[in-house]
Copies of this chain bind each other. A is one copy, B any other.
Amino acid sequence: MTASDRSLADAILAGDRRAASKLLSRVEQSDPAVLPDLQRLYRAGGKAVVLGITGPPGAGKSTTADQLIAHFRRRAQRVAVLAVDPSSPFTGGAVLGDRVRMGRHAEDPGVWIRSMAARGRLGGLAPASGDAVTILDALGVDVILIETVGIGQSEIDIASHADTVILLQTAHGGDGVQLVKAGVLEIADILVVNKADAPGTDRMAAGLAEMAAGVHRPDGWSIPVVKLEADKGGGMPDLAAAIDAHLAYCRANPAVGLALRRRQIRARLLVLAEANLRRAILRQDDPRLESAIDAVVARSLDPHALAARLCDQTPLDQTEC
């Protein structure tokens, strides 16, 4: 039986990697016909662990992802990497080269690597990345690594998917501390100083640890600081232990885990609902909206009143749980 004989969702739940690739491609093309498959997969899923890796260009995100793949493979876990390609001129970077670097895992059937375009949002995640997580989770992947450049929106976006957010920095350039100041301590669960052979690493790690100690997160988690030399594998056991500790902490504290899920879903809803809203407003094919816009042109209706109607929450009353 091939994917064409049954729904893509069925095939994916049976472990068909090609079906997963096919559905993801259709998701990236914004094909609305995929919704029933995605809904089925979402309801069947929830087993995979999602790790977010973020940080400025050159911090070694792909090298770290590569080491983490090897680590999880040694545990016989299936791993997927979603690398969000910065399509913005502000970020640039050797993304293709980085992909090639992870090529040593390309032949491993337990590893799944996919790049996704960020589509115009500065460093932000692709809107489809949430669906990618749904698909990979349903496919039976154990660990999903999402790698994204840490600029602008991405730290917030990544928190809408990742169970554990790893923020990578280096002592090079010295702007790591500045990045951390910008409020990311609220979402970074593990701070990493990569390229730990660089001068200033100890000072930076100490500074970050001091800063992290001053943060009192609502979830009670104490943010660890890990020194890493990802290209040589140095410090990887510490990073792996920190990841395990954070995941265990969330599992051991059901209220923390629930708050995390709710935060993820809220952030995801925002992305999906905004996309719906944008489509509804821009598509120009709803005569009700077009005549309402004409009423605003004629000033018999005002923009606030019309906007309020576009986001009316009445349909929530129909929610069946």
Contacts and interface: CB of A to CB of B under 8 A. Distances in A.
A244 interface: no
Contacts of A319: 288, 291-292, 295, 301, 306, 309
Contacts of A184: none
Nearest to A284: B266
21 contacts: A265-B293, A269-B281, A269-B310, A270-B282, A273-B277, A274-B274, A276-B307, A276-B310, A276-B311, A277-B311, A288-B319, A291-B319, A291-B321, A292-B321, A294-B321, A301-B321, A309-B316, A309-B318, A310-B313, A314-B314, A314-B315
A299 interface: yes
Contacts of A272: 303-304, 307
Residue of A38, A277, A289 with most chain B CB atoms under a 10 A cut-off? A277
A276 B316 contact: no
A197 interface: no
Secondary structure at the A interface, as helix, strand, loop or mixed, is helix
Interface residues of A, number: 64
Contacts of A78: none
Interface stretch (A41-49, A79-87, A99-107, A141-149): A41-49
Contacts of A314: 312, 314-315
Contacts of A300: 43, 321
A238 to B, nearest CB: 32
A302 B42 contact: yes
Interface in A28-42: 35, 38-39, 42
A273 B313 CA distance: 12
A295 to B, nearest CB: 4
Given A274-B274, A292-B321, A307-B269, A46 B313 contact: no
A208 to B, nearest CB: 20
A270 to B, nearest CB: 5
A315 B288 CA distance: 10
A42 B313 contact: no
A254 B282 CA distance: 22
Given A276-B307, A309-B315, A45 B299 contact: yes
